[in-house]
Structure 1
Amino acid sequence: MKKILVYTDAFRGNIIPTLGISEKLHQMGAHVHYIGVPDVTEIISGTSFPSTSIFGDYYPKGSKYESGKINADVIRTIIHGGLDELMQDFNPSAILFTAYNPIEAATFYLKYKIKTFLVYCHFPVDNDFSKTSFTEKVKEWSINMLMDDANLESTNLLINYLIDKGYAMNSLNDVLSVFENFYNVVPASKEFLIENAVVNGNDMYVGPCIPEQNIFHLHYDMDKLDSELSEQKRSGKKMVYCSLGSWAEQIDNEKAQHITQTLIDSFQQESMEDYILNISVGNLFDDYKSQTSDSIRIHQWLPQVAMLQHSDLAIIHGGMGGVKECIMHEIPMAVIPLGLDQFENADRVAAHQLGIKIEPHSINNTGIISTIHKLQNDTIIKDSLSKMKSSFEKASQDDAWTKFNP
């Protein structure tokens, strides 16, 4: 049986697609084992996959994580053989790393020389894929990390290790040469890109990778929630699910509050009497919980996949995970991007006629109400969602999966 390790960071948006990939690999006959800091293995403990905690001395449970920040102690530990015993016991044929760990992946590859995959939960921002392949973009992403002043110690460790392994170090391109050995996995369909993408032989577009196991369901009484949603459905009203994501107030708290209040005000209008809004407001819950009513149900958190199974429309922030889940459930979406890759995803949604992009700076009641009514009645959007879903399903059956074989 093939043995595959998955090394993931602690961001749940990155963990989720790895679970979808792991489920597929399990179906293909592989034994999958997760490794990560204690906060990661605690999440994985709620799934069917075994896991082993590593680097707990540097990242004890409850640590704060910064995307793009490389811990030099982690790099040093890998170089000095701190994971040798684990690797000898498990003897994997391949390892998967999540997007924010490319430097760890490079160090790991140099140390153990096993087949290495980098999993990106979303498309990198500011890129035209008609000119640059995904593999080249990965190298750009990685060099930005290496050039960050905060990562200087880790960068020096990696360069010295590359020299020890016989690599010529005359330029930054020499540093990046190790990445030519990696497979770069995108849990999406190439057709979701707006442009006609250049594809490198190491690029893998493998479909949505939405896992059957939901790590968020552990926090909900699902029977109670299903009962409540079924009752709402019986009312005959259209059900709208809304979430701006768990990072909304961190990206722009003032804007997140303005958008949330505007959405609530919009669904209080008489013209919206045929709709029920289920809105997840995250860490802003205490500010809005008093506005719950029969037609506006305000929650702190909601299990997104379960909500989409009951909803007619969705208002989302445009993270890749939410967009994919709407596509796979054929739910028309209004996308209100706040940051990160959300603006480009919103543009793709609009370009492919999968929904409507709402500019966050111009949001108002009239626009929200008009958008909801248009989404409900737009047959082009519904047809486009069906076609895009088919492209994602086709990608999930692609021959690229055979690259996971040793």
Structure 2
Amino acid sequence: MPKTILFWPDVYKEQGHWLPTLKWAEDMLKNGHTVNYMGIVDCEGVVKAFPIAINGAVTSFPYSRIFENIYPLGYTTESHTSPNERWRPDHIWAIAYSALGEDLAKYKDKLNKDLYEDALHFYQTMTNVNPDLLVSGYFTSLESLLIHKIYDVNVVITTTYLRHPSEDPAMRAIQNLMAFSPTEFFKLVNLCRYGDLKQAALDAEEDFVDLLQDPEIDIEDFVEDLQYFDELIPCPREYEYTHYNPGEKVHYVEPCILDRDLNSSTNSVLDSTVIGAGNKKLIFVTAGSQVLDYEGKARHLFHCMCEAMRSAELNDYRLVLGVGSKLINDYEWTEFKNQSNIIFASWVPQRAILSAPNLEFALIHGGLATIKECVYNNKKFLILPLGKDQIDNAMRLRKYGINNMVPVESITPKVLIDAIVNLKSDRKTLENLSKLSEVFQSVERESPGKQVLLDNLNS
């Protein structure tokens, strides 16, 4: 029997959290199920840019906008200078107050206008979609828990980075709950059980539901349900530390490598004269979406690589530099714009270039999604970590015998040249990379994550 799956990978626009789910969403669609996405306005473009075929027509997955008042268009870009402070509790209240359902109108004058509208719209979205399964993200663990409690929806968590076993979704939810006072926590819990409280008030012939009463539950018990949800980590187990034992509900699964690039309103500068056998060998450099969070480090990397392209050692290569839309017209590249062996691009079709037969090297920031694409395609690559989990990702490769990390703080044009030359002749690293690539391709074919989702739909 066809079921409905609702995907909500993250509150914010972190492409690496959204892209793997597109693979699973398409798998579910091919299995006859209905697929919907929801998210803030900033994230809509990621989903809409992924072309899918339905009944012979090319379209995209349906997308419901939520929290349009709390997170208006452009919020992700505006908050890029504080990546660790991007999370806000405002939308938690919108989810919680949506539990009032039709009774929300009674609170219209008690809530601020933006919160009331976002709560009402969230209630309408959940009611209209009426999902059988919510596929959410690790960074929306608390949000997923509230939706589960309020709308009685089964949940599967997707964790798109390699976390420590102790940093499970329940712990993530507890960390977020620390943003609330004890009184606010009481209200959150009571809103989640509003239906029961309302019935109790009716039974007692009372017309008032006390949302501030002590629910007599501690935080650990409140988040306990998260321990029973399946969690998908879209990365083969072989890449993870062998001594990590995250538990039976955690599944290391297929890397979710998309078979096509996202559409873009920006024309690609890469055509058949750049990508393809017989063309000049390529070096691809990107910082991905991390340009927003670590602009200074990204600029330093890009500038050093441009300088390196003037060397004799790299004379036989062409550089494709994905600097992003924010930096593409920056004055810093003026002196390099006339170099015939450098291509500046605001957007690069990453799947196409990382699978190109003439791609010789990739220099990346070390996000898990881009690492997976490099490994899957068995391409020589260097990691220059900018922050977040990127150093950990590089260290896991070193554990596997792939020595390809260069600290971004130490790079100069000569350091980059030497790293590229050394990697090319590092037989042990290249052999181990080839072995890991075979593992990635095998697990991708098996698609164990898809089966976990199907099992949850049938449970």
Q: Cα deviation per residue 1:157-206 (whole Å; 9 max; x = unaligned)?
A: 43334676799755432132121232211111121113333142211222
Instruction: Report if aligned partners of 1:192, 1:348 keep a CA contact under 8 Å in 2.
Output: yes
TM-score, normalization: structure 2? Answer: 0.77
| 1:241 counterpart residue number | 284
Do residues 303 (structure 1) and 349 (structure 2) align?
yes
In the TM superposition, residue 144 of structure 1 has moved relative to its aligned partner by: 1.7
Alignment CA distance shift 1:244-1:101 (3 Å): same
Q: Distance in 1 between matches of 2:153 and 2:16?
A: 26
Identity %: 24
| 1:92 counterpart residue number | 131
Q: Distance in 1 between matches of 2:360 and 2:447?
A: 30
Q: Distance in 2 between matches of 1:141 and 1:25?
A: 27
In the TM superposition, residue 145 of structure 1 has moved relative to its aligned partner by: 1.8
Which one of the candidate residues 341, 354, 363 is aligned to 2:389? Answer: 341
Q: Distance in 2 between matches of 1:155 and 1:331?
A: 49
| 1:145 counterpart residue number | 176
Instruction: Report if aligned partners of 2:285, 2:363 keep a CA contact under 8 Å in 1.
Output: yes
- In structure 1, give the amino acid aligned to 2:299: Q
| 2:306 counterpart residue number | 264
Match of 1:271, SS? coil
| 1:160 counterpart residue number | 190
| 1:284 counterpart residue number | 327
TM-score, normalization: structure 1? Answer: 0.86
Match of 1:234, SS? coil
Map 1:159-238 to 2 at 5 A. Answer: 159-161=189-191, 169-215=216-262, 217-222=263-268, 225-230=270-275, 234-235=278-279, 237-238=280-281
Which one of the candidate residues 377, 401, 406 is aligned to 2:450? Answer: 401
Map 1:247-396 to 2 at 5 A. Answer: 247-248=290-291, 250-251=293-294, 253-282=295-324, 283-285=326-328, 286-290=330-334, 291-292=336-337, 293-310=339-356, 311-396=359-444
Instruction: Report if aligned partners of 2:260, 2:351 keep a CA contact under 8 Å in 1.
Output: no
Comparing 311-320 and 342-351, the one that deviates more: 342-351
Q: Distance in 1 between matches of 2:260 and 2:415?
A: 36
Q: Distance in 2 between matches of 1:247 and 1:152?
A: 36
In the TM superposition, residue 399 of structure 1 has moved relative to its aligned partner by: 4.3
Alignment CA distance shift 1:214-1:355 (3 Å): farther
- In structure 2, give the amino acid aligned to 1:319: G
Match of 1:357, SS? coil
Task: Give the number of equivalent residue pairs.
Answer: 392
Instruction: Report if aligned partners of 1:249, 1:256 keep a CA contact under 8 Å in 2.
Output: no
Larger radius of gyration: 2
Instruction: Report if aligned partners of 1:169, 1:175 keep a CA contact under 8 Å in 2.
Output: no
Alignment CA distance shift 1:255-1:88 (3 Å): closer
Alignment CA distance shift 1:85-1:60 (3 Å): same
Q: Cα deviation per residue 1:186-242 (whole Å; 9 max; x = unaligned)?
A: 111121113333142211222111233533x323435x62224148x635x431100
Instruction: Report if aligned partners of 2:384, 2:408 keep a CA contact under 8 Å in 1.
Output: yes
Q: Which runs of 5+ in 2 are unaligned?
A: 51-59, 80-84, 102-119, 198-213
- In structure 2, give the amino acid aligned to 1:308: L
Instruction: Report if aligned partners of 2:36, 2:63 keep a CA contact under 8 Å in 1.
Output: yes
- In structure 1, give the amino acid aligned to 2:286: S
Q: Which runs of 5+ in 1 are unaligned?
A: none
In the TM superposition, residue 368 of structure 1 has moved relative to its aligned partner by: 1.3
| 1:63 counterpart residue number | 75
Q: Distance in 2 between matches of 1:6 and 1:14?
A: 11
Q: Distance in 1 between matches of 2:260 and 2:282?
A: 24
Instruction: Report if aligned partners of 1:78, 1:107 keep a CA contact under 8 Å in 2.
Output: no
Alignment RMSD, CA only?
2.8
Q: Distance in 1 between matches of 2:320 and 2:442?
A: 32
- In structure 2, give the amino acid aligned to 1:140: M
Do residues 101 (structure 1) and 140 (structure 2) align?
yes
Q: Distance in 2 between matches of 1:230 and 1:402?
A: 35
In the TM superposition, residue 346 of structure 1 has moved relative to its aligned partner by: 1.5
Alignment CA distance shift 1:268-1:94 (3 Å): same
